[in-house]
Structure 1
Amino acid sequence: MNQKTLGKLLECARHAIEVTDDELDEAKRRRRLLAGAMRRAFPGSTIYFNGSVAHGDANTPLTDVDLGAKLSSEDADGYGPGQSDALPLMERARQAIREDLSEEFKKLTVTVEGRRRAVLVRFGEPVTLGQPDFTADVMTAIPHPSGKGLYIPNMEISARWDRADPLTHTRLVLDALDKTDRVFARAVRLLKHWNKTHSKPLCSWNIKALALDCIDEPMPLIDALSTFFTHAYDALGDGPTPDPAGVAGPIPLNMPMAEARRRLRTARDDVALAKEHESEGRPLSAQHALSRVLPHIVPDVDATDEEQARLRLSAIGMTGFGPGLVAPSVTPTRAWAP
């Protein structure tokens, strides 16, 4: 068997899931069309991009894109908590998007009704072959009176508006990409795969918010994973992750805290075990442990023979070769959980 280092396994894994250039180019083209429609609908607005495409950590298949318009003071007048909700603004956005994009995208639908935060655009045409569609969330946001962050729609609460700062979020992520020589994005790609294959304990933004606190310099990917899982497990012990921009409330989990931390602890321990196996010359055992963290993109292997050989060598080392020495009783065990 062609044995690979943990570093090589992770490089292969990230390439297996990262978005392709063709997917990304088409997604950005459609995003530009939407941005143009929003600029026409709201002259003087600031268009901002967020989400995985803007943050440089999109995986394949690529199914959506996110953008918003920070409205000018004139367009925002009369909107906000205690004033009008965002429905008239969302209708304005819907009309502009339909007018600008429906000729190219014959199956385009633009939905406002029942939407919590953003206008939902369904293009009726995927950017990844085999996917049912490609969508966009288009936000109509207004400046916060303090000058820090925005009010974004939340049609499910009485105030109808929430505070958030997506522009700062994107800036923080892009700064992290520069500081880490893009290790941040590569690690986040892998972490999103871990999350998806382990019952989604965290939302994608929670992963990135936690990573901002600990993946802050170039490092090997295996160390980035180890650093993240250790930090995330410890940090969530103090409560939900705070908003990195210091504007919105804590980031909610997708499951009870104890269960989310259990998954993080298991991943932390499996990564540590993989590193230990590799440092002691057991590449198959290392790969097996890592495959538990990143199933499907790190192939599993049968490391039983390798572990049995390790135990035999360990027994020989303990007993020596002199006459009269008796080998201790050794019960073979796996180095990983069943």
Structure 2
Amino acid sequence: MVHKQSLAQLLDEGRRKIQVTDEELTEAKRRRTLLAASVRRAFPGSTTYFNGSVAHGDANTPLTDVDLGTVLTKKDAEPYGPGKKSALTLMEIARDAIHEDLDDEFPKLTIEVEGRRRAVLVRFGDPVTPGQADFTADVMTAIPHPSGRGLYIPNTKIATQWDRADPITHTRMVLQAIEETKVVFARTVRLLKHWNGTHSKPMCSWNIKALSLNCLDEPMPLINALRVFFTYAADEIGKGPTPDPAGVAGPIPLNMPRPEVHNRLCTARKYIDLAIEHEKNGRPGLAQHALHQVLPELVAKPDATEEEADRLGQAARAGAPATSGLGLVTGVVTPTRTRAWGE
């Protein structure tokens, strides 16, 4: 008899393959702490916050970057904001402080300010994941929003030079979701980010998390969480852009035309539904085959001939006609395309 893994086993094995290692995470957080200390020194009285995948608990390996920001005091922020000064001076101050504090430890350190849209880009010249080219950090210089809700963050690509956002609330919401779902939220997002990267990145990671915040709110098996997400996300993207979960920033943009993103979400949902149906009806090989379409690099393509041989053997031992097993499999095992959402 051919042994097949359950969907739960396949997904658990898959998410472990991409989960960031303790060593990567420890070093990334250490460097993030160094950066936070530098910008607090550069802007006395300021506060720092962490965001992005490391702060959100959903980082994958290889780990290539980290995100953080500093929020100036109200007094220091007075000259800056829409209709006032841009963040360029603040970014240059942050750059100089980081160089002063970190150059000795990281001799290949480079920092970019010119042409950066939102944040100072720090290149360490030293990866935290062996085999990677580098490790970087986005360091944002933000100011309080006059309303008390959210921040003004730099946007050098628009006339006002500033955008409204609330990354602090975003991180709080994500961490709360992880707690309420007993880590299912983070594990599902890891898988979804991998799906997104495997299929030409139709969405940014934050869009995935923003949609997940509205549909993943309790513990559940990972295969169910994927079905819930793709069902909800397809419906929501079909209606329009994803709103900011904090209710502060504008809608979250997509990386592709909305009809194309909607099509990819619908196709993924159909394969997840098919995988669940096959497993329910005792066809683990076909269940794995369907799941492989969604996560081709994490779930191996099964050998359908092995399952067919096993099914025929069972049928023969039970005295059933051999063709009953053959007919069941050949009707569904061969899709016309490996990735129906087009690449």
TM-score, length basis structure 1: 0.93
Q: Within 5 Å, which residues of 2 pair with 1:298-317?
A: 298-304=299-305, 306=307
Q: Taking every aligned residue pair, what percent have the same amino acid on both sides?
A: 66
Q: Measure the CA separation in 2 of the matches of 1:242 and 1:153.
A: 20
- Cα distance, 1:303 vs structure 2: 2.0
How far residue 302 of structure 1 moved from its aligned partner, in angstroms, is 2.4
**Residues 67, 137 of structure 1: 8 Å contact kept:** yes
Contact 2:304 2:333 in 1 (8 A): no
CA distance in structure 2 between the aligned counterparts of 1:44 and 1:304, rounded to whole angstroms: 67
Deviation at 1:337, TM superposition (A): 2.1
**Whole-angstrom distance in 2 between the partners of 1:334 and 1:209:** 34
Distance 2:129 2:314 in 1: 50
Runs (4+) of structure 1 moved beyond 6 Å? 308-314
Contact between 1:307 and 1:335, CA under 8 Å: does it hold in 2?
A: no
| 1:274 equivalenced with 2:294 (yes/no) | no
Aligned mates of 2:275, 2:309 — CA distance in 1: 17
Alignment-derived partner of residue 176 in structure 1:
177
User: 8 Å contact 1:194–1:294 — kept in the other structure?
Assistant: yes
- Paired residue type of 1:174: L
1:106 alignment partner in structure 2? 107
Separation in 2 of the partners of 1:134 and 1:235?
35
- The amino acid that maps onto 2:154 is P
Identify the range of structure 1 (29-38 vs 70-79) with the bigger mean alpha-carbon deviation: 70-79
* Counterpart check, 1:92 vs 2:93: yes
Distance (whole Å) between structure 1 residues aligned to residue 55 and residue 306 of structure 2: 46
- Counterpart residue number, 2:331: 333
Match of 1:59 in 2: 60
Question: Which residue identity lines up with residue 337 of structure 1 in the other structure?
Answer: P
- Mapped partners of 1:313, 1:25: distance in 2: 51
Secondary structure (helix, strand or coil) at the match of 1:117 reads: coil
1:159-200: CA deviation from partner (whole Å, max 9, x where unpaired)? 000000000000000000110001000000000000000111
Q: What is the match of residue 339 of structure 2?
A: none
Alpha carbons of structure 1 residues 310 and 265: separation in structure 2 relative to 1, 3 Å: farther
Mapping of residues 54-203 of structure 1, within 5 Å: 54-203=55-204
User: Which residue of 1 is the match for residue 51 of structure 2?
Assistant: 50
Shift of 1:304: 4.6
Cα contact 1:285–1:307 (8 A) shared by 2:
no
Q: 1:77 Cα deviation (Å)?
A: 1.4
1:224 aligns with 2:219: no
SS at match of 2:38: helix
Separation in structure 2 between the aligned mates of residue 295 and residue 44 of structure 1, nearest angstrom: 49
Paired with 2:12 and 2:306, the residues of 1 have a C-alpha distance of 26
C-alpha distance after superposition, 1:66-111 (max 9, x if no partner): 0000111122111000000000000110011000100100000011
SS at match of 2:276: helix
Shift of 1:335: 4.2
Q: 1:98 to 1:300 in 2, by over 3 A?
A: same
Deviations 1:111-141 (A, max 9, x none): 1011000000000000000000000000000
Rate the CA distance shift 1:163–1:81 in 2: closer, same or farther, 3 A. Answer: same
Given that residues 286 and 304 in structure 2 are in contact (C-alpha distance below 8 angstroms), is that contact kept between their aligned partners in structure 1? yes
> How far apart in 2 are the matches of 1:247 and 1:65?
23
Q: Give the RMSD, CA atoms, in angstroms.
A: 2.0
Deviation (angstroms), 1:306? 3.7
Distance between the aligned counterparts of 1:333 and 1:66, measured in 2?
49
Answer whether contact 1:289 1:336 (CA < 8 A) is retained.
no
**Counterpart amino acid of residue 40 in structure 1:** R
CA distance in 2, matches of 1:212, 1:221: 15
Compared CA separation, residues 311 and 80, structure 1 to 2 (3 A): farther
Match of 1:210 in 2: 211
Could you tell me whether the CA contact under 8 Å between 2:211 and 2:242 is conserved in 1?
A: yes
* Amino acid paired to 1:247: V
Give the SS at the match of 1:57. Answer: coil
Q: Which amino acid aligns with 2:258?
A: M
Deviation, 1:54, is 0.1
What secondary structure does 1:298 align onto? coil
Aligned residue in 1 for 2:244: 243
Uncovered stretches (5+) of structure 1, i.e. residues with no partner? 315-319, 322-326
How far apart, in 2, do the equivalents of 1:312 and 1:244 lie?
Answer: 54
User: Could you list the runs of 5+ residues in structure 2 that have no partner in the other structure?
Assistant: 337-343
Distance apart, 1:308 and its partner CA: 8.5
Asked if 2 retains the 8 angstrom alpha-carbon contact of 1:287 and 1:300, the reply is: yes
Looking at structure 2, the residues matched to 210 and 172 of structure 1 have their Cα atoms a distance apart, in angstroms, of 12
